[in-house]
Structure 1
């Protein structure tokens, strides 16, 4: 798993690229408070090497909670900036600080 951040100089936006190795998976998406936890809003594209990848533009200066959904199962990114407990999900979410 990896997260790459590219801050734009002309706008208060950060392009965040999520990469998730999941060769056996059929589908993957990233969900979070930036897309209302909608599992269909930000699908990741499967690459030839078997990993999934996608880029999201997020406003700089904020923190975002997120998780991956791989074949219907929720996963955290171990490279996240932090983790936050979520009572609704009864689990930890990954946190991205921009």
Structure 2
């Protein structure tokens, strides 16, 4: 799931909240065009209150592709209806910021 809001800084960045519903005890990260497709740069923390993993990032206006990486498996964000084909014959989720 993706939530967007305007940051309160002067850099024209937007706050993006990403969440992934899964049971506790999993290893969950997010990889995308905003972090060179490295899921270790954006590990997601589990919240018992929401029963989901989440992270917050700040992005400039633009279009970004991403996937969740759950226990080493690359997973589409099924709560996001926006996606694009990738070079591996699968799909990436897409965020349009700003």
Q: TM-score, normalised by structure 1?
A: 0.86
Asked if the contact 1:5/1:14 (under 8 Å) is kept, the reply is yes
1:32-91 superposed Cα distances (whole Å, 9 cap, x missing partner): 01000002000000112431010011112x00000000111111112335211112x221
Give the TM-score taking structure 2 as reference length.
Answer: 0.86
Moved over 2 A (4+): 8-11, 78-81
Q: How many residues align?
A: 95
Indicate the residue corresponding to 1:47 in structure 2: 47
- Residue segments in structure 1 that go unaligned for 5+ positions in a row: none
* RMSD across aligned positions (CA): 1.6
